[in-house]
Amino acid sequence: MARLFSIRSIKIALLEVLNSSTTAHKMNLIGRGSSQGDVERSLGITFDNEHRHLADRAFEQLKSEGLIRSTYRDLIDPESWVEITDSGRAALKSKCIDELDGALSKISPHLLELRKGAWEALAFDQTDSLRQASHSARELLDQTLKEGAPDAAVTQMAGFVPDPKSTSGITRRHRIKYLITDRRGRVSDAELKVIEKACELVDATSARLTANSHSRTTLDAQNIKDMVGLAEIALRCVLLNETVPSNLPLNSDARQERPRVG
């Protein structure tokens, strides 16, 4: 059984190792060649080239986010010896490893568990766990929108017009618009349409997998990983004011490029 790891889980492992030591060298953390690093031993695996590349990215992102920092005390390699920062300890304690974690936790802490659950399920390349990953991604989107944009708040939004096709009069587009305008004041119809389509694709994929839950068809782990990534792209656009990628593929029959995820 293959096991995968997201950049998020590697970041947490890096912080945990550094939290239990004074300082550590980058190569001792992520390993090199056939030599295991501290993170591999912590996770109980041996990295292949893809995992080690992911660990390298995780390390550099933690530095750029201020969760770890170079000590600059070594005369030969001052930038590669690092220590955890106070912000890193706080992130480790709260499990808010990136901006999306922080935004989700402000809405409800249980959303972090849904996000974590999606990636943990994806870590096991098995049919049932892949279906669980897609379900968690769908729930993460749905619950974030419903809890972040409750009915009472949405109906008070300027220009709100109930949709007769919805029993409550409130649609997903209403909730997306409320969350974005609440953060930056305005959103274009084109942007709303793209985010809404991304959500619909996640919905459709998850629904198809649920409907075929008893099928013995082998699922493509990369396709499910891309779907979880698409859900996170939609959430980052809604909660973090990130621009919708211009090349975002929204055709359910098209294989997506691997998106930037945590």
- Residues 99-134: pLDDT tens digits? 899 999 999 999 998 998 888 888 776 778 888 888
Q: How confident is the model at residue 182 (pLDDT cuts 50, 70, 90)?
A: confident
Handedness of CA 138, 141, 147, 152 (dihedral sign): negative
Query: pLDDT at position 214, please?
Result: 55
Average pLDDT of 139-158? 93
Please give the model's pTM, rounded to 2 decimal places. 0.74
Query: pLDDT at position 251, please?
Result: 54
Q: How confident is the model at residue 55 (pLDDT cuts 50, 70, 90)?
A: very high
CATH of domain 7-96: 1.10.10.10
CB distance 225 to 136 below 8 Å: no
SS3 for 218?
coil
Conformational region of residue 241, where left means phi above 0, alpha means psi within -120 to 50, and beta covers everything else: left
Distance from C-alpha of 100 to C-alpha of 104, rounded to nearest angstrom: 6
* C-alpha distances in Å from residue 37, one per residue of 10, 43, 51, 64, 150: 12, 10, 12, 21, 46
Q: How confident is the model at residue 98 (pLDDT cuts 50, 70, 90)?
A: confident
Q: Which of 25-34, 217-226, 253-262 is predicted most confidently? A: 25-34
Q: Which residue has the higher pLDDT, 254 or 167?
A: 167
Query: pLDDT at position 262, please?
Result: 42
Model confidence at 87: pLDDT above 90: yes
**Angle at the Cα of 54 from the Cα atoms of 23 and 72, rounded to 5 degrees:** 25
Arithmetic mean of pLDDT over the chain: 84
So where are the chain's domains?
A: 7-96, 101-239
User: Residue for token digits 């989107």?
Assistant: 141
Residues in the chain: 262
Average pLDDT of 27-31? 95
Cα Rg of the chain (Å, integer): 20
